[in-house]
Amino acid sequence: MVSDPVADMLTRIRNASKAGFATVAVPGAKMQREIARVLKEEGYIQGYKFEEDGPGTRLDIELKPRTERGRAINGLKRISRPGLRVYARKTEIPRVLGGLGTVVLSTSHGLMSGRQALKEGLGGEVVCYIW
């Protein structure tokens, strides 16, 4: 079975958030860096740092601390996967939890949130849902 690096990253973030960790380290491929950038722009994480150590690269993601309102990331779900790609037209961009969550799309202009893709009039591959 071939491992999906994006699903691995989302699982690590989901588990670290539920366990109350402050940071999580994931392999730092370009797709993972772009997902971290979108998460930062949408306010789900506090920050991220890209480090090259030895033969591989690492992405350290700093999660937001838990507040009285709860965690910043309550759930992450991989939608499009290597075995079943899911695409959305610019008029069919999905809404997560009635607009309370965020959809991450891979468009011809790079990775972006569903809100930004709608503003720019772009569709693309639905990477994941975040709420």
CATH number at residue 16: 3.30.1490.10
What does pLDDT average to over the chain?
91
Instruction: State the total domains in the chain.
Output: 1
Angle at 72 between CA 94 and CA 97, to 5 degrees: 25
Average pLDDT of the segment spanning 39-54? 91
For the whole prediction, is pTM greater than 0.95? Answer: no
Q: Residue 1: is its pLDDT beyond 70?
A: no
Q: What is the mean pLDDT of residues 97-113?
A: 93
Dihedral angle computed from the Cα positions of residues 27, 37, 11 and 92, in that order, rounded to the nearest 10 degrees? -130
pLDDT at residue 2 greater than cutoff 80: no
Band (pLDDT 50/70/90 cuts) for residue 35 is very high
CA proximity to 128, closest of 26, 28, 10 = 10
